Amino acid sequence: MNNVRALVLTEFGGPSAVKVSSVAAPTAGAGQVLVRVHAAGVNGLDWKVREGYVRDAYPLQLPTVLGIELAGVVEAVGPGVIGLRKGDRVMGPLGGMGAYADLVAVNAAYLCLVPDSLDFVAAAALPVASVAAWQSLNLAGPIHAGQRILIQGASGGLGGFAVQFAHQGGAVVFATALSQHADYVRSLGADHVIAYDIEQFEATASDVDLVLDYVGGQVLNRSWSVLADDGVIVSTASPAILASTPAGRRGLWFVNTPQAARLQAIADDVTHGRLQSKVAAVVRFDELAEAIELNRTEPQVGKTIVDFSL
C-alpha cells in the first residue's frame, strides 16, 4: 500500500508531541471523496488537541493526524457520491481530524467547490473560521440591529469573520485585539476596538447582549461582568463553560458543524469583495509544527496556511 506524508500527534504534550510521519494512504469509502491536499488552515484547536486540553470534548485515539480543514483536488470518488467528480477543486472542514496529510478521505457532503478566482491558499483559510463565526454568532438566536456584541479575540481568522457578520447584521460591535491590530479590526466594522494589552475591556463594554469568547481562560471568567441581565456567552475556546456558568447566567459551548451551502455562499462573498479574508502567513509542511505553536503563543491577524507545494 502507498504511504503519504502526514503530521501525526503521538502523545499529548508540547511541540515535540507532533512529527511528520509516513502513514498509509486512505481510500474513499461510501459517501466520501479522496482529496489531494494542496493547502490546509492552522487553527487554535490544533494546539488545544495537541496538549490534551479538549480531550473530553474531542476524544481521540493516538496516534492521530492533526488538521481540521483543507483545500485541494478530488482524486477519487467513493460509492454514492453525487455532485463531485475527479479533478474538482474543493474545500471544506473534515468534521474531525486528519487534514494535515497529502491524501485525505472526506465526507463529500462537507465539501464545496473552490471559486475559480480563489487559489488553494485563500480557499484553505475559509472552511472553519468563516462558518464557525457565522454559527457561533447565531447560536443563541439570530442577531438583530442594535444588539450589543463583544467579540473576544477579534483579529484572528474566526474573530475577523465574526466582526464582519455582526457589523453587517446591524449590531453594535465591541472587539478586543492587540493595539497593533486595532486598525485592522476597526476596518472590518468594529464600532469599539479595545486594545487588551493597554486597557481592560470592562472599562468600555457594558450591558452586552452577546459575548463571543474565542479566547477562554480568564478572559471568559471576566466576561460575565459585562453581560446584560439576559445576555449570553458563547464560547468556542472553553468547554468548561458548561460547568462554570454562574447561577442565573447563560453560557453555551459551541462546536462547529460542517455546512457546505453556507461555506459556498461565504466564498462567493469573499470573491466579490463583500467579505475580507486575511491570510497572516503561509508556511511549508516542515514548518507546520512550529506554526501550530506560534498560534498558541502569538496572537495574529487572520489565518496561517500550510502550502503543501512549498
How do the pLDDT tens digits run along the chain, 310 residues long?
589 999 999 999 999 999 999 999 999 999 999 999 999 999 999 999 999 888 877 788 899 999 999 999 999 999 999 999 999 999 999 999 999 999 999 999 999 999 999 999 999 999 999 999 999 999 999 999 999 999 999 999 999 999 999 999 999 999 999 999 999 999 999 999 999 999 999 999 999 999 999 999 999 999 999 999 999 999 998 888 999 999 999 999 999 999 999 999 999 999 999 999 999 999 999 999 999 999 999 888 999 999 999 9
* pLDDT for res 1: 55
* pLDDT for res 56: 79
Domain ranges of the chain: 3-125+278-307, 130-253
Q: What are the distances in angstroms from CA 172 to CA 74, 164, 200?
A: 42, 11, 18
In the block, cell 488545544 appears at 48
Q: What are the distances in angstroms from CA 169 to CA 148, 159, 172, 211?
A: 11, 15, 9, 15
* pLDDT for res 80: 97
CATH superfamily assigned to domain 130-253: NAD(P)-binding Rossmann-like Domain (3.40.50.720)
The answer to whether residues 305 and 279 touch, using CB atoms and an 8 Å cutoff, is yes
* pLDDT for res 140: 94
Among 95, 86, 89, CA closest to 71: 89
* pLDDT for res 58: 76
Which residues fall within 8 angstroms of residue 292, CB to CB, at 6 or more apart? 15, 18, 42, 46, 47, 50, 66
Q: What are the distances in angstroms from CA 309 to CA 26, 102, 125, 155?
A: 20, 10, 16, 27
In the block, cell 500550510 appears at 306
Q: Find out if CATH 3.20.20.70 is the number for domain 3-125+278-307.
A: no
Residue 203 grid coordinates: 472599562
* 3-state secondary structure (DSSP) of residue 127: helix
* pLDDT for res 266: 98
Burial (Cβ within 10 Å: 0-12, 13-18, ≥19) of residue 36: middle
CA separation for the pair 20, 18 (Å, rounded)? 7
pTM, to two decimals: 0.95
